[in-house]
Amino acid sequence: VVRGEGEMQGTAFIDDYIATTESVADYLTRYSGLSPGDLDAQRSQHHVVSLKTAYIKLRFLVDRGCCFIGHGLNKDFRIINLCVPQDQVIDTVNIYSLPNRRLLSLRFLAFHLLGITIQGDSHDSIEDAKTALALYHKSLELKERQIFDKTLNRLYEIGRITSWEIPP
């Protein structure tokens, strides 16, 4: 979780890993960013908390009326069984989508709208949060300049041409 506004905008203030006692068959490191030991409080270099602790922290933010900006948040909230009112969720996967068309990846949007490459070798949740925040601000800028719809249609055209791949 990163701060969304103010002089500390973009600064991480929650970067918790949730401990597990169950054996993990495949960490899918490329997609999750997790490696063996990351979820073990005794061995991890990260801040590891229980699911209950993570839930309580997020529940506190929800109850305080905080707005969550991210990419694919509804899936994340569903996984941890957290109900967040829709007026507190700004999801860039929905902002940058056309009806009945594929959803655009955070990586694709970051490359084509922000000119940055993310999620190179593995996934980084703070990088993703900062990127989603930047994409939200970019959407506001494009709407203010009245070129959002044109830009979105162009993104889908680029995706079709490139098979949705990002250059190496």
Looking up tokens 């999801």 gives 91
Q: Residue 83: its pLDDT value, please? A: 94
92 class by beta-carbon count within 10 Å (0-12 exposed, 13-18 middle, 19+ buried) = buried
Q: Where are the extended beta strands (E) located within 12-120?
A: 16-18, 47-49, 68-70, 89-91
Tell me the H-state helices in the chain.
29-32, 51-63, 73-79, 92-95, 106-109, 125-144, 148-162
Taking residues 30-49, what's their average pLDDT?
72
pLDDT tens readout for residues 113-153: 999 999 877 678 889 999 999 999 999 999 999 999 999 99
Q: How far apart are CA 95 and CA 154, in angstroms?
A: 15
pLDDT tens readout for residues 55-73: 999 999 999 999 999 999 9
pTM of the model: 0.85
Q: How far apart are CA 21 and CA 43, in angstroms?
A: 13
pLDDT tens readout for residues 68-88: 999 999 888 998 899 999 999
